[in-house]
Amino acid sequence: MQPLRFAQIGIGGMGRSHLQALRARDDVELVAVCDTNVDLLTPFADDPVAIATYRDWRELLARDDLDAAIVVLPHYLYPEVVTACLERGLHVLKEKPFAMNLADAQAMLKAAQTAGKTLMVAAQSKFTPSYIAGHSLVQGGVLGQVFLLRAAIIYRWGGAVTNNWRWRGDHSKSGGVAVVDSGWHILDLVHWYRGLPTSVYCSLGHGRALPDSDYDVDDRAALVLDWEDGCVGSVVCCYIALPAERKLTLHGQVGSLIADPDSLTTIIGDNAPVHHDLPADPNIMGDQLEHFIASLRAGRQPRSNATEALQVQRIIEAAYRSAESGQPVKLADLPGSAP
């Protein structure tokens, strides 16, 4: 089988993890990498494997020997770069979030559909064993009708507390942080488990939680979600607090489920909690890439494809609109929604 030929645009930050997963495989060929930081490109000069380096993604895309690209960039750069990759005929795995806003997400989805290429948004939580197993249990009806959902993502990001925000602290370049960036992880899980809510209410609080820092993005958020079947959910997002937490709890008429990155527990009826066995040392980034490649070879849409990711973006759009208006926002009222 002919190896798929990959390029990676953006190899710093989270790009390092994608690059490591890519280079660990022997059934793909890493042809080229691109980054504006020359220090990240320098080690490739001494690499025994010939990998071309670029500082301009446009020059990289002039090559005629590529099948797919991994794109890891600041949010405001995604529409132009991802669209160019798709129009060039490449399949794309891009880092989360899908986009800064709903309009950019819709534009990239349209570009993928027009090009007939696969666009997948990275969703490491969907490749975490505890969340995968929990999803299977919920979809299998183990909990019965779910009526309450509680979710949280809380951690302390060093760039915020040291006032080293770079582009993330600039709303015009990131689109936000608490909801669209860090919140993507947990809202993507919420959507995966429960589907699209009918309405979202969101409060971002008032004033900066870090008054001496220089930023104009949301630093915490509390959301209330309603579903058509009567389920109600709460989601809390914050990236400047401790202790860290990334937890999803669902309560159903038969039982409850609690999942975090390292554990999965179910409580059925009045029985004692059951702590489910999980694989040790999972290779989450490798499994995510494996799924992307397998989907390309099979000609099927991957988990967290652009169509699904657009629905998560709609939840985020509704949250920000709600925070601005002070009122719940119905998902059906967003631009591009079906009549």
**β-sheet with 119-121: strand ranges across:** 52-54, 28-34, 4-9, 68-71, 91-94, 119-121
Phi, psi dihedral angles at 78 (to 5 degrees): -60, -50
Q: What's the whole-number mean pLDDT along residues 320-332?
A: 98
Question: What amino acid occupies position 93?
Answer: L
Residue 280 pairs with which residues in a beta bridge?
none
Q: Where are the domains of the chain?
A: 4-123+287-304, 125-279+312-333
Phi, psi dihedral angles at 52 (to 5 degrees): -70, 145
String of b and e for 267-285 (b: at least 16 CB within 10 Å)?
A: ebeeeeeeeeeeeeebebb
User: What is the pTM assigned to this prediction?
Assistant: 0.96
Whether 339 has a pLDDT exceeding 60, the answer reads: no
What class is the 4-123+287-304 domain? alpha beta
pLDDT tens for 106-126 read: 999 999 999 999 999 999 999
pLDDT tens for 250-274 read: 999 999 999 999 999 999 999 999 9
pLDDT at site 274: 98
What's the CA angle centered on 165, arms 163 and 170, to 5 degrees? 125
Q: What's the whole-number mean pLDDT along residues 322-330?
A: 98
Residue 149 — very low, low, confident or very high, per pLDDT cuts 50/70/90? very high
Q: What's the whole-number mean pLDDT along residues 201-210?
A: 94
Question: What amino acid occupies position 291?
Answer: H
Q: What's the whole-number mean pLDDT along residues 269-288?
A: 97
Question: What amino acid occupies position 266?
Answer: T
pLDDT at site 338: 56
Phi, psi dihedral angles at 9 (to 5 degrees): -110, 110
Q: Give the DSSP letter of residue 95.
A: -
State the Rg of the chain over Cα.
Answer: 20
Whether 314 has a pLDDT exceeding 80, the answer reads: yes
Q: Name the helix (H) or strand (E) containing 237.
A: strand 232-238
Give the 3-state secondary structure of residue 88.
coil
Measuring CA to CA, which residue among 108, 46, 116 is closest to residue 76? Answer: 108
Residue 234 pairs with which residues in a beta bridge?
150, 224
Long-range contact pairs involving 40-49 (C-beta distance under 8 Å, separation at least 24): 40/11, 40/12, 41/11
Cβ(97)–Cβ(34) below 8 Å:
no
Q: Is the peptide bond before 97 cis (omega within 30 degrees of 0)?
A: yes
Dihedral of alpha carbons 276, 282, 285, 291, sign: negative
Q: What is the mean pLDDT of the chain?
A: 96
pLDDT tens for 174-194 read: 999 999 999 999 999 999 999
pLDDT tens for 70-104 read: 999 999 999 999 999 999 999 999 999 999 999 99
Q: What's the whole-number mean pLDDT along residues 43-66?
A: 92
What class is the 125-279+312-333 domain? alpha beta
Whether 198 has a pLDDT exceeding 70, the answer reads: yes
CA–CA gap between residue 78 and residue 275 (Å, rounded): 40
Whether 211 has a pLDDT exceeding 50, the answer reads: yes
pLDDT at site 336: 75
Phi, psi dihedral angles at 156 (to 5 degrees): -115, 105
Alpha helices in 162-283 (DSSP H): 171-174, 183-194
